[in-house]
Every structure is written in C-alpha cells, then in structure tokens.
Structure 1
C-alpha cells in the first residue's frame, strides 16, 4: 500500500496576545501558578475581524501552491467554534483559497478531537483514491469567560494540513486505538458563547483516557515505549501533556526518560505562547516538535494522543520522513511571534466582549488587521469575508 500522511502543515494565529504574568497579577494570582502550574506564558487574542473561517484560510493559504489548489478534492473543517449550524466552514474556504469547484466540503465536531477524525478520514480517502489531495483544517477559539478559572487556558488559532500519498512530513500509521464515553467534563450548549467545564474532573478524564489507550495500544501492536522517539499531546494547557507523559515514563530507561522529556519540551514551545486551540492543539504540538527538536530523523516513530472532552480519545503513531523540514513553512512561527502586538489587560478584556454576534448589520474596521483574510462585518445576516 502506498504510504499516506501529512505532506504539508501550516499555522495561523491572530496578531494580538496577552502576557500571562500580567494576567495573573490582574487576577490577583501568583504568576507561577500560570507560568509553571499551568505551563502557559502567552495567549493569542482574537480581534473581531478574525474567526475560525479566516484563521483557517490564513493558515492554509501560506502552504498551498497553485497545483495544490487544483488537485485538492476534499476539505475537512474541524471546529467546535462554528459560525453556522447549517453551512460548513469548508465551503467558505473553497472560495477564499481559490480551490476548484469539484470539491467536497464538510465540517465536523467532537470537542477537541474532531481534527484527528478528519485527518484519519483524509488518510483513508487518499489511500482509496490515488493522486487525491485532502485539505484538513482544525480551527478554533477557546473561550471560557473573563475572571473564570478557565481564562488562563484560552487561546485561538488554526492548523492546516495537506494529506497526500508519499508525504514529506510524516506517514500516518494504521495502528489507531480509540475510545468514547458519555462524560460531562466540558460542554457548550448551543445558546452559550463560552464553554462550561469541570476543570479538575476533565484533567483526570484526560489522563485516564491516555493511560487506557496506551495500554490497549501496547497490547494490540506489541510495541513499547522504547519504539517511540517522542510524543505529541493535545495541550489545552501544556502542563496537562507533561502529566500524561510522566504517567508512562517509568516504563523507559533513565536515558530515554530524559530524551522523551526533551522532545516534550520541543513539542510545547509554540503551545505555551498560543494557548488552547481545541481541535488544532495536538497538531500545533506536532508542528512544534517537528520544528524545534534537534534530534528527529527519518524513521523515528512519534506517538500522538488526541483527546476531546465529552469524551473521545485516540492514540496512534506517525513515522518521520526524510524531507520533513521541507513540508514546513519556513520561519512561520518565529515571524508570527516577532510581529505580534501585546495587549494590556483592559484592552484584552474589551476585545473579548467585541466579537461579532447578533443579527444586525455591522461594519468592522479591518485596517488594523494585517492578516490576508479578514472578516469585514455582517450584512443581511451574512458574514463578509474579504482578502486585503
């Protein structure tokens, strides 16, 4: 069977952020609680001129060639921050990105997990349709509300992945183990704009799912921790992934434990500065690992743990390819971080409450948003997306 996997990967987050030390002080908390206890240093902030559609378009546009845009025949849009209960976000992407009209467009949802399901569907589709290319995007805005316990784990961004035969970055193995359970650890009713979460319970469920799937994976495949170079975790906050990794570290030698911890640090460099992005979180972690590890090489096996509250989890492996660096957008995150603008806490709080909502016509000032694709306002209850 021809190998299938991620040929290209790209990321986008808005140009605004808050500093977690300043947020901690504004909330009368010790900065160490956020910086060490949660494992976050900065957090992306979404202006009214960005939403999940524009972020997804901005991420994908940076990696797609003209040939890609003609070859893509499926767009899978994963989000739990959708803008319409009927129309798929993928349909907007088809137009904004200039993709051909002979394209399937679909949106899917299962908390933070849907991006992984979309990726696996893309893998299987390409395997059955030689020559096809599938665009998978995971785009989200994590919102818990001002002055809430979850505020420190907010964030936003989009990861775009191009799935093809003979990929340059990683091949996706067919060793997936998955599990679901009806659990109320996190949810957002259709009438709510912010998520509801039982934080400590959700953290426990996350770790329980990981340990259960890890044991099942080992039993089914016969592999052990010694077969893995590193792991990428869903990171609603980066300390969560570290706790999960520590649960299985005793299975490794002291030398491998140190190596796995070093790879984990590489995998959370970007997440620490972006925050939570729900469906895209685990793939930002993968991108961070690929970009920041100094020891990854062709043939290395990476373990990937995806988790979505409510709850669904999946563990699988991916194999690093010889030209994996060529599938990354060179200097992308470094440029983003260098150009970002820090917001004061009052300015951040004001923007938090200015997101586009309601049915009244509204024109947004797009002049201050440097992104290519922006949300210009609402006319006749239709979002106005433009490139500028």
Structure 2
C-alpha cells in the first residue's frame, strides 16, 4: 500500500520584519544575517495568533467536507505548546469542525515532532487503509530582544493530509533515525525563552546528518545519485547549505552538485521569508521546492533530513506521484507580498507582548485581527478562539 502526503497547506501571520532592519537596530552588519544566515525576513505573530490559529488556517487551505468525514486522527507536532495538559490539536479539531470520532494528540521532541507525527500517521493508515490523518506542524520561534538567536525567529504552520494513494508524494519505507542525549537547545518549563548553545548545536546537526546519512546509504544501498533534491530542517537557511556540502563528496560529479545546489536554493525561498518555524521548517522547505522547482517530475525521489535538538534526527525519502503539481499552488508569493512590514518598534511590541490576566484569569484583546482564526479572549484561564466569517 502506498501512503503519503495527499494535500499540503501553509499559514503565516500577516506581519513580517525585514532582517536588514533588525541588523541595523542591533548595530550589526546586515551581511551577517543576509549572507551569513541566508535569511531575508521573519514572520511576526501578534498576541491573537498562536499554534492553534496558524495550524487551523494551514489546514483550511485544502480541507474539503469529504476530507473532514474521512479524518479520524489529528496530530500536532510543536514545541510551542499552549497548555501543559490539553493538546492544541483538540482546539484545532473544534475550529475545523472535524468528526467527534477522531483521535487528537500532540507530539513533542523539539523540531523533530512533525516528522514523528507523520510516522504515527503513516502507521495508522497501514492499520486503517480508508482513514485519513491530519498532521499539523505549528510553532512560534522566540528568543528575546537582543538574544543571539533573535535573527532566526519566525512563526508559521504547515498542515498535511496523510492517506493511501496520495496525490502529491509517497512516504517510502526507508527511515533511519538516531538519538543523542545532548543539551544544544532546550527550554525549561519556567523559562519564557530557550537556552541555546549555537555552535554546539550546528556541529551536532551536521554530525547527525553525516552519520545518519552514512547509515542510510549503507542500509539501503543508495547514493546521492538516487535523488533529485535534498530537503533539510532549517533553523536558518545557511545551515542547510552546510549540510549539503557535508554529504556531497568533493569528488562528486559536477552535474549532480549543480542539480542538488539549484534545487536547494529553490527550496529555501519560503524559509528565507518566514524564518524558523521549528517543527514546520523541513516541510516548508519541501513545499517551497515543490511549488517553485522547474525541474521536478513524477517518479523523482527527494531525500529528507529532520533534526530536533536534544537530539533526535531522521533521514527518509519521498517519491513524487503523477500529477503532483495539480495539488500545489503557483501563486503563493502573492501571500508574502500582501504582508504588512513592521518597524523595529512595532516588532518588539507585537512579538513579545504577553497576555495579562486579571485576578479571575480573564483577558481580552483590543485587536483588529481579521485572520480566518484568532484567539478572542481568555475566560477563567480558558482560551477562547473564534472563526471569522468572510
């Protein structure tokens, strides 16, 4: 049975910050961000947008009433949880109007959570061939004003429908994964922002890639010649380029190098404008490749590298199916062009605003948020969401 991604959608807040403006405000040469990170912009979420609203919006991009009937599981991969107990997928389930006879769970392992969710979804469809699983990757990456990671922040969500006989790509049975007990990035429950050892994390990312790729190629007798492109988890786009150079041998033929390099730069177009979205970064990378590449065709294989600090990583491959391009958008750049650019002052006020509760656990927001879904208020410590009707 062939199982894979049948539909895919993406959502981001309507606000963004130019990375060059951030560099200027922090007295840093803009090239450190633009060339050093290959980052151009970052999406900024107001207080009324979170992993629930972004996740529901991403799924709404493609869900039909027939899809909703067939979905019997919804999984969210995130490291930006809104509750220590209740899964964000339950809120999304309600906003989307899915069947009550649906399993809803949340998966956490840093940026790897979305890949773990897809693995769970795939196994579910193996046991329930007529089922569809909605997988959502949704995160807000925040490091704090002036923090070393401030230039790699972002906000967004990718949603995917997993089912048999998919219309976009097949998830192949060639997964190789690795776990290491390391402290390269972590966020204790009492901390608003993560703790990061940036140089150590980059080193681990690349070493995990190299060692897992060596195991993958040995176990499945595959080489880079088997793939048209490689997609990476991208906390910032430049690390993907470092990853590409890590596993492409210097003596490799020039045609292969050129092909992989060209598709890499195609795959980072969206990430460069959004920033880091943790669990969704790999799948935004994939979406950018699929919607912007002029060289891909059905039957092509794409190598996927997922990494979550702490650390768990995985390499697997996907294969494009006939007519995959019909499930994709050709006009997504218009969404980026329609966003509102923020000044540094507006960015600092918006992105780092905190919810203020009264003595009864209530909070309301003065907002002109006209997004499809938004956080309306908090009432007796309960988050209340609304869907805007257009």
Q: Specify the alignment match of 1:364 in structure 2.
A: 365
- CA distance in structure 2 between the aligned counterparts of 1:326 and 1:110, rounded to whole angstroms: 33
State yes or no: 1:285 paired with 2:297: no
* Structure 2 Cα separation of the partners of residues 249 and 305 of structure 1: 14
Q: What residue number does 1:205 align with?
A: 204
Q: TM-score, normalised by structure 2?
A: 0.97
Q: CA deviation at 1:326?
A: 2.1
Instruction: Specify the alignment match of 1:141 in structure 2.
Output: 140
- Which position in structure 2 is the counterpart of 1:299? 299
Q: 2:36 aligns to what SS in structure 1?
A: helix
Q: Check 1:305–1:191 CA distance in 2 against 1; reply closer, same or farther (3 A cut).
A: same
Q: CA deviation at 1:249?
A: 1.9
Distance in 2 separating the partners of 1:231 and 1:358: 46
In structure 1, what is the equivalent of residue 90 of structure 2?
91
Q: Does 1:54 align with 2:53?
A: yes
Contact in 1 for aligned 2:291/2:330 (Cα 8 Å): no
Structure 1 vs Structure 2 CA RMSD: 1.1
Q: Which whole-Å CA distance do the structure 2 matches of 1:58 and 1:371 have between them?
A: 9
Corresponding residue of 1:253: 253
Q: State the Cα distance separating 1:330 from its structure 2 match.
A: 4.9
1:116-265 correspondence to structure 2 within 5 Å: 116-250=115-249, 252-265=252-265
Once the two structures are superposed, what CA deviation does each residue of 1:343-381 show, in whole Å capped at 9, x if it has no partner?
0001101112214365641111342x2310001121110
Query: How has the CA–CA distance of structure 1 residues 20 and 305 changed in structure 2, closer, same or farther, with 3 Å as cutoff?
Result: same
Which SS does the other structure have where 1:47 is aligned?
coil
Tell me whether 1:377 sits opposite 2:377 in the alignment. Answer: yes
User: What residue in structure 1 maps to residue 37 of structure 2?
Assistant: 38
Question: Residues of 2 paired with 1:154 and 1:313: CA distance?
Answer: 21
> Residue 4 of structure 2 aligns to a residue in which SS?
strand
The superposition leaves residues 232-275 of structure 1 with CA deviations (integer Å, 9 ceiling, x where unpaired) of 00000000000000112226311110110000001100000000
User: Bigger shift: 246-255 or 160-169?
Assistant: 246-255
Partners of 2:130 and 2:355 in 1: CA distance = 40
SS at structure 2 position matched to 1:144: coil
251-260 or 335-344, which deviates more:
251-260
Query: SS of the counterpart of 1:174?
Result: coil
Q: CA 1:363 to 1:39, structure 2 compared with 1: closer, same or farther past 3 Å? A: same
Q: Superposed, which structure 2 residues align to 1:345-356 within 5 Å?
A: 345-356=344-355
Greater Cα offset, 132-141 or 191-200: 191-200
Q: Which residue of 1 aligns with 2:328?
A: 328
- What's the CA shift string for 1:184-208, capped at 9, x where partnerless? 0000001112111000100000000
Separation in structure 2 between the aligned mates of residue 357 and residue 162 of structure 1, nearest angstrom:
36
Could you list the runs of 5+ residues in structure 2 that have no partner in the other structure? none
Spell out, residue by residue over 1:80-107, the C-alpha distance to the aligned partner (whole angstroms, 9 max, x if none): 0000011011111111001011100000
Contact 1:238 1:272 (C-alpha < 8 Å) held by counterparts: yes
Deviation at 1:49, TM superposition (A): 0.8
Superposed displacement of residue 338, structure 1 = 1.7
Separation in structure 2 between the aligned mates of residue 82 and residue 301 of structure 1, nearest angstrom: 33
Contact 2:184/2:196 (8 A) holds in 1: yes
Question: Aligned equivalents of 1:5 and 1:122: distance in 2?
Answer: 9
Assess if the C-alpha contact under 8 Å between 2:144 and 2:352 holds in 1.
Answer: no
8 Å Cα contact 1:42/1:272 also seen in 2: yes
Q: Is the 8 A contact 1:225 1:252 kept in 2?
A: no
SS state at 1:38 partner: coil
Is the 2:357–2:363 contact (alpha carbons within 8 Å) kept by the matching residues of 1?
no
**4+ aligned runs moved over 3 Å, structure 1:** 357-360
Structure 1, unaligned stretches of length 5 or more? none
What secondary structure sits across from 1:80 in the alignment? coil
Quick check: 2:356–2:363 contact (8 Å CA) kept in 1? no
Separation in 1 of the partners of 2:236 and 2:305? 14
